[in-house]
A and B are shown apart, each in its own frame.
Chain A
Amino acid sequence: MRTTQHIQLRLVHLYPQQLNIYGDHGNVVSILQRCRWREIAIEYHPVGLGDKLELRPGDIVFIGGGQDRGQQQVAADLRRHGAQLRKAVVGGMPALAICGGYQLWGHFFQPQEGKRLEGISVFDAETVAAEGRLVGNVVLESKHFGRLVGFENHSGRTTLADGQSELGVIDPGPGFGNNGVDSGEGAIAHNAIGTYLHGSFLPKNPVVADWLIRAALAQINAPQTLKPLDDSLEQQAATIAAQLES
Chain B
Amino acid sequence: MYNKHMPQSITIIAAKIARQLTSLKGNGGTALPGLVAERLDPDILRKLAAGNFRDGITLVTGTNGKTTTALLAANILAADGRQVLHNHGGSNLMRGIIATIIEAADLRGRVAAQTAVFEVDENAFVQIAPVLQPTHIIVTNLFRDQLDRYGELDTTAQKIAAAIAKVEGVTVHLNADDPLVASLSDSHSKPVSYFGVGDYQETKLDDLWSADSLTSPVSGAPLEYSRRFYSHIGHYRSSNGDFARPKPQLEASQIRIGDNSLSFRTNHTKNASITVPIGGFYNVYNVLAAMSLAESLQISPQLIQASLATAQPAFGRTETVQYRGRQLRLLLAKNPVGLNQTIEQYLLADPTAPILFIINDNLADGRDVSWLWDADIEALRHHSGPIIVSGQRAYDMALRLKYANVVNYTTETRIDHALNLAAKKVKPKQTVNIVPTYTAMLAVRTLLVASGSLKEYWR
Beta-carbon contact of A18 and B215 below 8 Å? yes
Binary CB contact string for chain A from 128 to 151 against chain B (1 if under 8 A, 0 otherwise): 000001011100000000000001
- Distance between B67 CB and nearest chain A CB, rounded to angstroms: 25
A11 to chain B, nearest CB (A): 14
Tell me if A21 counts as interface (CB < 8 A to partner B): yes
Complex interface: chain A residues within 8 A of B369 (CB): 151, 199
Known: A200-B373, A203-B403, A237-B399. A151 touches B209 (CB 8 A): no
* B151, A26: Cβ atoms closer than 8 Å: no
Pair A198/B370 contact, Cβ less than 8 Å? yes
The interface-forming segment of B7-15, B69-77, B390-398 is B390-398
Question: Does B449 sit within 8 A of A, measured CB to CB?
Answer: no
Chain B residues, Cβ within 8 Å of A237 = 395-396, 398-399
B440 CB to nearest A CB, Å: 16
Q: Considering only CB atoms, which chain B residue lies closest to A203 in the complex?
A: B399
Among A17, A26, A198, A203, the residue within 8 A (CB) of B214 is A17
Given that A68-B154, A200-B373 are contacting pairs, would A236 and B220 also be in contact in the complex, using a CB cutoff of 8 Å?
Answer: no
Contact partners of B55 in chain A: CB under 8 A: none
Interface digits, B337-375 against A, CB 8 Å rule (1 contact, 0 not)? 000000000000000000000000100000111111110
Name the interface size band of chain A. Answer: 35 or more
Interface 1/0s, chain B 374-412, versus A by CB < 8 A? 100000000000000000110110111011110000000
Known: A237-B395, A240-B393, A240-B395. A67 touches B152 (CB 8 A): yes
Using Cβ atoms and an 8 Å threshold, which residues of chain B touch A240?
Answer: 392-393, 395-396
A33 to B406, CA, bound (A): 12
A90: interface (CB < 8 Å): no
Produce 1/0 per residue, A17-36, CB < 8 A to B: 11011111110011001000
Rounded to whole Å, the gap between the CB of B147 and the closest CB of chain A is 6
Residues from 212 to 236 in A contacting B, C-beta threshold 8 Å: 233-234, 236
Q: Whole-angstrom distance from the CB of B175 to the nearest CB of chain A?
A: 20
CB of B406 to closest CB in A, whole Å: 12
Q: Does A153 make an interface contact (CB < 8 A)?
A: yes
Is B153 an interface residue when CB atoms closer than 8 A count as contact? yes
Known: A33-B403, A73-B215. A26 touches B154 (CB 8 A): no
Are B154 and A203 neighbours in the complex by a CB distance under 8 Å? no
A6 within 8 A of B: no
Residues of chain B lying within 8 A (CB to CB) of residue A200: 370, 373
Q: Do residues A69 and B403 form an inter-chain contact, with CB atoms below 8 A?
A: no
Give every chain A residue within 8 A of B371 (Cβ-Cβ). 23
Determine whether the beta carbon of A17 is less than 8 Å from that of B222.
yes
Q: Kindly list chain A residues whose C-beta atoms are within 8 Å of the C-beta of B88.
A: none
B364 to nearest A CB, angstroms?
Answer: 15
Scoring A21, A24, A198 by chain B CB atoms within 10 A of each residue's CB, the highest score goes to: A21
A73 to B215, CA, bound (A): 10
Counting chain B CB atoms within 10 Å of each CB, the highest count among A25, A72, A73, A204 belongs to A25
Residues of A within 8 A of B220 (CB): 69, 72-73
**Is A195 on the interface with B (CB-CB < 8 A)?**
no
Say yes or no: is A179 at the interface (Cβ < 8 Å to chain B): no
Residues on A with C-beta less than 8 A from B373 are 23-26, 29, 200, 203
Is B144 on the interface with A (CB-CB < 8 A)?
Answer: yes
| B148 in contact with A153 (CB, 8 Å) | yes
- Inter-chain contact B154/A199, CB cutoff 8 Å: no
A7 within 8 A of B: no
Residues in B neighbouring A29, C-beta threshold 8 A: 373, 403-404
Contacts of B152 in A (CB 8 A): 21, 67-69
CB contacts (< 8 Å) of A151 on chain B: these are 148, 367-370
Inter-chain CA distance A52–B389, complex, in Å, is 42
B212 within 8 A of A: yes
Q: How far is the CA of A68 from the CA of B220 in the complex (A)?
A: 12
Is A178 part of the binding interface, using a Cβ–Cβ cutoff of 8 Å?
no
Q: Which of A30, A49, A199 contacts B368 (CB 8 A)?
A: A199
A161 at the interface (CB under 8 A from B): no
| Shortest 9 CB-CB contacts between residues of A and residues of B | A23-B370, A26-B373, A237-B395, A23-B373, A67-B152, A25-B209, A151-B368, A200-B373, A73-B220
A–B pairs, 18, beta carbons within 8 Å: A18-B215, A21-B152, A24-B209, A25-B209, A25-B374, A26-B373, A29-B373, A33-B405, A73-B220, A135-B367, A136-B148, A137-B367, A151-B367, A151-B369, A151-B370, A153-B368, A199-B369, A199-B370
Q: Given contacts A20-B374, A133-B151, list 20 more A-B pairs with CB under 8 A.
A: A17-B208, A17-B215, A21-B147, A21-B212, A23-B372, A23-B373, A24-B373, A29-B403, A33-B405, A49-B222, A67-B152, A69-B152, A135-B148, A136-B148, A151-B148, A153-B151, A198-B370, A203-B400, A204-B399, A237-B399
